[in-house]
Amino acid sequence: MRRTRPPELAVTGLSENLQGDIYRTVKRAVVIGNGCAGAENQCFGLVHSLGLFDRHLYHRVARPKGGILQWLPISLYKRIHRFISTICARFSINATGITNVFEVDDAKQIAAMARSTFDKNGPLLVVASGSDTISVASSIRRLAMENVFVVQVQHPRSHLERFDLVITPRHDYFSLTPEGKMQIPFFLRPWVTPREPPGRNVFLTTGALHYADASTLRNATLEWKEEFASLSKPLVVVNIGGPTRNCLYGVDLAKQLCGMLQSILWSCGSLRISFSRRTPKKVVEIITGELSSNSKVYIWDGKDPNPHLGHLALADTFIITADSISMLSEACSTGKPVYVVGAERCTWKFSDFQKTLHERGAVRPLTGNEDMCEKWSYSPLNDNGEAARRVIQDLAKRGWKIET
């Protein structure tokens, strides 16, 4: 919001650009998470790219556990919570088990904080991700529209006007393409995300936002280079996720992957394998049983410290299962060769994402006939930087700027 009267810069949070215009300075952020690392890391990645990572507060929406209520939308659960709390208060009944549904401050409290501290600390940037955070983030904007800038990461399905900016991958709009329309019955189309083409407040990325930007990987290089120094080159990192409804696989793909990895081991200096929390136990057992005895192979046991950032920083080549958009987005942002396993099993928008990466030249299918010493180049994904620039541009339209 542009001000016309002279400010006291150190007190009000206003700053002046080279043309003499007065800008409100965004010096702080609030991240609204849902407890899911894949969603929250997208928020942290954006905040980090904007230079606000050491000046953000984190709050989490806690979905209730157990019973039928855990399947309700958070917004509906919140209404039930308020109704039951009102009844219990009226009749002096203890509402244990219903209270403290959220581990996040109430949206009213965050909005009130944004309003009351606006003159002193400037606007508040709110970044949220995941369906459970939609009602909280949109409520903050509704209650403090002139004091906050609300970014919703991942598509919120409908009513995009509730947010200042929506950041979502292009493949979320696959349902609107001719190919996407052929894959679902017409009577289901009104309920498929999204319902209409991108609007003015929607920014499309290629992949998912993430925390592994250039500065993070530089720090990871310093942290892990000594431990990785003795590893023979090329260092090949294998990241294995887990099946999803749009990318189904099981022990069959695990056995196929084992065969391909054994076929390329001759060209690997070192092979390091990591599993995700979603990896089925049987898949872990098969791959561990087949490969753990090879002296070139290291399999991370899941204990801290997690070598993931070290792998991204120091690997020469990646092999990644097609189910994980996050891991593929991170690896393809490094500019290093990325081989994909199981892309042919993906459907819906997962398939569209794989097609985009392939056309970009960022990924190739793993066949087992590769020489891991081979390199190729492509334009690395830069979704974090591009999304951050869009946030800065939209803030400028309101007369706001990020503190540098």
Q: What is the mean pLDDT of the chain?
A: 87
What confidence tens digit (pLDDT) does each residue in 226-238 have? Answer: 999 999 999 999 9
Q: What would the mean pLDDT of 116-128 be, rounded to a whole number? A: 96
Residue 86 lies in a domain: no
The residue with tokens 């049987």 is 282
> What would you report as the CA-atom Rg of the chain, rounded to the nearest whole angstrom?
24
Q: Does residue 223 lie in a domain region? A: yes
CB burial of 31-65 (b: ≥16 within 10 Å; e: otherwise) equals bbbbeeebbbbbbbbbbbbbebbeebeebbbbbbe
The mean per-residue pLDDT over the stretch 298-317 comes to 96
Whether residue 175 sits in one domain with residue 219: no
Q: Are residues 222 and 176 in the same domain?
A: no
**pLDDT greater than 90 at residue 89:** no
Residue percentage of the chain with pLDDT more than 90: 71
In a domain, 375, yes or no: no
Separation CA 315–CA 272 (nearest Å): 9
- pTM (2 decimals)? 0.86
Give the domain CATH number at 152: 3.40.50
Shared domain for 183 and 225, answered yes or no, is no
Q: What is the model's pLDDT at position 7?
A: 29
140: left (phi over 0), alpha (psi -120 to 50) or beta: alpha
Q: What domain range is 114 assigned to?
A: 9-62+102-206+385-402
Task: Identify whether 373 is part of a domain.
Answer: no
Q: What is the pLDDT of residue 158?
A: 83
Number of folded domains in the chain? 2
The answer, yes or no, to whether residue 188 has pLDDT greater than 60, is yes
Q: What is the pLDDT of residues 295-306, one digit of tens each?
A: 999 999 999 999
What pLDDT, in 10s, does the model give residues 25-68? 999 999 999 888 889 999 999 999 999 999 999 988 866 665 55
The stretch 268-297 carries a mean pLDDT of: 96
- Under the banding of pLDDT at 50, 70 and 90, the label for residue 2 is very low
Question: What is the phi/psi pair of residue 86, to 5°?
Answer: -65, -45
**Inside any domain, residue 332:** yes
Which residue(s) pair with 124 in the sheet?
Answer: 28, 148
Flag whether 302 is in a domain: yes
